[in-house]
Structure 1
Amino acid sequence: MSEMSVRDQNVFMARLAEQAERYEDMVEFMRRVALVPQELSLDERNLLSVAYKNSVGARRQAWRAIHTYMQKMASDHAMAEIAAYRRRVEDELNEKCNDIIKILDSDLVEKAVSSEAKVFYLKMRGDYYRYLAEFTDGIQRDQYAGAAHESYQTANELAVPLPPTHPIRLGLALNFSVFYYEVYKYTDKACQLAKEAFENAMGDLDSLDAEQYKDSAAIMQLLRDNLALWQNDLPGDGKAEQDGTQVEDI
């Protein structure tokens, strides 16, 4: 361990924290790596993504549980305390989401050399603005939604040279379609994007090796599952009428 560079030590500790399911520690280790003036490797990008995804994901689940409980309350008993607890979770979500967005904006997007890396980071940026839009409203929600859409759209344009079966391109299509469904409530656009990504990838699936096939097929299954759910909302004006069923992203 003593012969490792500081960067390698943090990557090593991030992997250890992941095995121990200590995602707050993993975030801190990968945050240090991301702030080093050197482009992240594919493995390091994935570690960074896993760290923040789990840290923020736990808080998103907590917010949903509290929010659902508040909606089901028949009386206002303890409502003030519950609302305060929800605000505490929202503060934590704000802090975590804005932290990774700041790192992406100030370091990672600019350092990215390949289009693959840029797509990866812009997708992440879109994801975390989408998460912020989930629990805000009014002008602030519109701003977060607009920033998410801009990030996803730019990533979508940069992803064109990548093969249709590329996991990053498929993952972007999955999450961008979820954005259209959950944030803008545009079921038609969500279905169109997911369907095109799925069908384009199907044509090249047989050319992949076993490992590539496994990664791509897993995301394609999520696209297919979401399509099955969303198509129940069509036809109409194209806006989703959600029943509370959670759609899937990565």
Structure 2
Amino acid sequence: MSASNQPKNATARKDDFVQRGMKGPNRLGNTIFFVSRLVDPFLQYSILGNGLANGLISRLGGTVLPQGPPLLTNTFSDRLGLSPYRSILLAMSIGSMAKQNFHLTTIMQEQLKPSSALAIGIVNAVFNSINSLLFLTAQTSASVNGEHFPQTPLIVGTVLYAVGLFIEWFSELQRHQFKKNSANKGKVYQGGLFSLSRHINYFGYMMWRSGYALAGGGWVWGAVVAASLTYSFTRLSIPDLQSYMEERYGEQYQAYEQRVPYKFIPYFV
């Protein structure tokens, strides 16, 4: 098929991370994504527990926070030697990795290009590493606010993280179960959490990313991440995906847009 004869959605979105409409796994792409995400918790532990970035912080004029008393649970986690706060940040890295690799191996149907898989893995590692670096730097750490553990940024950030990760995971799982039923072929999923927002999974991602940032770098960094992701989703990703869905499902998707007017944040945007 020549480029001039390709479907509009195939040519317009050939540079997307996920190749929409192209079913079946790209084994190399999936392997790169899975491994790159699997490596991230080890990277974050090296930063939080082994001082991997302490020299960088010092060279930039920052003061590295002391380790603090280790978490004692009489379990394997005690061998990590991390404080309770650092243990929670590491758990956030592990949780996001597990969620994304679950999505890859259980839910995702579209192909993922190797270059895109590597880019996504790098972006996640960079975001998580910035959270860890900001936490470790006394001048920016969310833990240095005059409160005893658990500090307010950690409490709020953890709640946002947990709720957001659940929203993203559960909404995508609900849609996957709907699509698995052959009777629903060619239909737009409009139930579950997707009855509250047409891109509720994006909203969940923004929540947990912002919560993770808040727990590491405090209120300003959390707000910066929330604002940047909101702009990226509402101005870039959602309009492109909406165009694809309208093109693919026609009046059916337009009816869904009328029934669920909120594209991102339920009852707000």
TM-score normalised by length of structure 1:
0.30
TM-score normalised by length of structure 2:
0.29
Q: Which has the higher contact order (CA 8 A, sep 6+)?
A: 2
Larger radius of gyration: 2
